[in-house]
Amino acid sequence: MKPDTSDPEIVRIFDRLACGRRSIRGFLNQPVAQEILERIFETAASSPSNCNTQPWYSYVVSGEMRDKLSGIFMQTIGQGNYAFDFPYDPKYEGIFRQRQLDVGLLLYKALGVTREDKEGKRQAFLRNLEFFDAPHVVFIFMPQWCGIREACDVGMYAQNLMLTMHAHGIASCPQTILGYDADSVRRELDIDVGMKLLFGISFGYEDPDLPENRIVPERATLAETVRFYS
């Protein structure tokens, strides 16, 4: 299918989709129908990749297994016991640190968590491990041989996935935190040790009543991130 990309209607709809997607941190208890799930993952797989290697692997978890993994994460990640495939210890500096602080402030303000409120911050962290009540979570893996270029392929796939979900009215939140206990995910889902976990994405229908779902993190200006040459 070759869309006519010069069609202003397509441009308008795509802008709305790309700019309207947000990380959502509160979901309704309403599962997504299996045929919609399959359609979404099929569309996401149209992503580009180096040499068309398609190094992405999605493991979609719902129902009892979802609850079980959430419980395990509370005992492992929630207690500070991590088993990463890809270490994450960000010490952002300068503008990157500022952006990290800004989005944190925005989220804590929406949640009513103050700067000194350590317990509030911990509860906000733990919400990640409850998948923000989402009925589904997808764990995104790639084979062990993959390097940074293949990880870029997987990132493109993940964005396609979230945009396709958004087109279907399904909200999502990508979560690095869900990659903090890769061993348990592999064990529970019977995934080969040669597959490595990058992150998870909680998804489902958004709870529209939650203030944390109304935050809109700012983006840098065009001049800060793009240069045009001729």
Ligand X SMILES: Cc1cc2nc3c(=O)[nH]c(=O)nc-3n(C[C@H](O)[C@H](O)[C@H](O)COP(=O)(O)O)c2cc1C
* SS3 state of residue 203: strand
Q: Closest CB to ligand X among 23 and 160?
A: 23
Is residue 211 close enough to count as binding ligand X by CB under 6 A? no
Is residue 22 close enough to count as binding ligand X by CB under 6 A? yes
Q: Closest CB to ligand X among 32 and 161?
A: 161
Minimum CB distance to ligand X, residue 62 (Å): 20
Is residue 174 close enough to count as binding ligand X by CB under 6 A? yes
Residues between 77 and 136 that touch ligand X (CB under 6 A): 103, 128
Residue 171: count of CB within 10 angstroms of its CB: 25
Phi, psi (deg, nearest 5) at residue 27:
-125, 160
Q: Closest CB to ligand X among 47 and 176?
A: 176
129: phi > 0 → left, psi -120 to 50 → alpha, else beta; which? alpha
Segments in the chain forming alpha helices (H): 8-20, 34-44, 63-75, 94-111, 118-129, 148-167, 182-189, 222-225
Minimum CB distance to ligand X, residue 173 (Å): 6
The span of 58-66, 110-118, 168-176, 181-189 binding ligand X (CB under 6 A) equals 168-176
Is residue 177 close enough to count as binding ligand X by CB under 6 A? yes
Q: Kindly state the tokens that stand for 23.
A: 């990380």
In sequence order, the 6+-apart residues with CB closer than 8 A to the CB of 155 are none
Task: Give residues in contact with ligand X (CB under 6 A).
Answer: 22-23, 25, 103, 128, 173-177, 199, 217
